[in-house]
Amino acid sequence: MSEGHEDVVTLRGERELVLRAGDLFAAAREEFLCGAADLVTWSGGVNAVFAEGKRPPLPKPAPRDGLAMRKVYTRRALGDAYSERRLAAIAASGADVRISSAPLAREAIVIDRRIAVLAGSESRGPRTYTVVRVPEVVDGVRSLLYATWEAAEPLADALRASGPALDEEARLVLGALTDGLTDEAGARRLGMSLRTYRRRVAELMAGVGATSRFQAGVRVRGR
């Protein structure tokens, strides 16, 4: 059950977040600024609730001209190959992903400088999410969150510092790149569709901050 006035509404649990505020996420036009401790807080937690397919997952802002997508996570989001692949995929989709060494004062999302969504503390019972439309509050939340994002490390630098956590499939893709194979030849070698192969190449390049396939191979092999 939600509570509050029109400009400040508290939603209880991930179901209500999706049903009452999910469209706000997809409606971002100018800026989508997100801060989370890890990959579970927002879409991960929501998608787990709707894993049975009875409800839609949390909508995501679609990359478009003029939309700045900025996301900052703490180092809890790093540490295993699966999480790093997901972060690389987020970066490859067009988001500027950064990693903060300090904890976040508050997990939040700010949309187009008009709406802020604040995640409540993790405790017993459904987690709360407060949707705020008060301009002065939204501006204050955005200022703090943006300062955290600006001071954080780019994802590629954080991955280089910690060393790549590549799974076997990523290592096979890397091998195809360093062997100079075309996308078609690499996909055939690995038994992937061309689309899947190209997606894995994009994730690998984004994860190590490379602008070319050759550079990706050099950066990973040089560690």
Quote the tokens at residue 3: 């509570």
Share of the chain above pLDDT 70, in %: 76
What pLDDT, on a 0 to 100 scale, did the predictor assign at position 50?
47
Asked if 157 and 164 touch (Cβ cutoff 8 Å), the reply is no
DSSP label at residue 30: S
Distance CA 46, CA 25 (A): 13
Q: What is the DSSP letter of 77?
A: G
What per-residue confidence (pLDDT) applies to 63? 63
Residues 148-179: tens digit of each pLDDT: 999 999 988 887 766 555 677 887 888 888 77
Q: Which tokens belong to 78? A: 């790093």
Whole-number CA gyration radius for the chain: 19
With tokens 């459904």, the residue in question is: 126
Burial of residue 217 (number of CB atoms within 10 Å: 0-12, 13-18, 19+):
buried
For helices 168-178 and 183-190, what crossing angle results, to 10°?
A: 140
* Residues forming a β-bridge with 72: 35, 98
Reference 73, options 48, 41, 50, 47; nearest CA is 41
Whether this model's pTM surpasses 0.75: no
The pLDDT, as a whole number, for residue 160 is 73
Separation between Cα atoms, residue 115 and residue 133, nearest integer Å? 5
Cβ proximity of 57 and 63 under 8 Å: no
